[in-house]
């Protein structure tokens, strides 16, 4: 359950995307991680309780699903940035988002550590 607060935190203004794309080695790690982890609503609750907006939608252009986290808390270093993931099915998109956030970024999005090798991975 979301925590109630008497003070409203400062909201971050959107700045762009935090690019975390998978290398071939990362793909193998994700596949192994995904076989042992299924992300459910309790993960979404954790994200929203910790200052992120979680969203999912269907991407008709790529014919798949997009899951994303937007850092809403102005006090966080990566405030205003969005981390996203794409999958042919909804569960893969959400699992990939969790993998990027928790495993690859260790829940710290250091913007200088973008991995912009887009186009080389079958995962978005």
Q: What is the pLDDT of residues 15-57, one digit of tens each?
A: 888 888 888 888 999 999 999 998 988 999 999 999 999 999 9
Q: Write down the pLDDT at residue 12.
A: 75
Please, are residues 73 and 79 in contact by the beta-carbon 8 Å criterion?
A: yes
Q: Write down the pLDDT at residue 21.
A: 86
**pTM score, whole prediction:** 0.82
> Is the pLDDT at 87 greater than 70, yes or no?
yes
Which spans in the chain are helix H? 24-36, 41-49, 90-98
Q: What is the pLDDT of residues 89-124, one digit of tens each?
A: 999 999 999 999 999 988 888 754 555 555 567 776
Burial of residue 28, with CB atoms counted within 10 A of its CB: 0-12 exposed, 13-18 middle, 19 or more buried:
exposed
Map out the domains of the chain as residue ranges.
19-113
């Amino acid at each position: 359950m979301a925590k109630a607060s008497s003070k409203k935190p400062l909201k971050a203004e959107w700045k762009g995307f935090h690019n975390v794309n998978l290398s071939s080695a990362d793909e193998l790690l994700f596949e192994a991680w995904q076989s042992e982890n299924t992300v459910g609503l309790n993960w979404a609750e954790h994200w929203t309780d910790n200052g992120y907006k979680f969203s999912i939608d269907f991407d008709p252009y790529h014919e798949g699903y997009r899951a994303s986290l937007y850092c809403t808390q102005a006090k966080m270093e990566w405030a205003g940035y969005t981390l996203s993931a794409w999958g042919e099915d909804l569960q893969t998109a959400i699992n990939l988002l969790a993998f990027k956030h928790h495993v690859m970024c260790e829940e710290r999005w250091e913007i200088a550590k973008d991995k912009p090798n887009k186009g080389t991975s079958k995962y978005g």
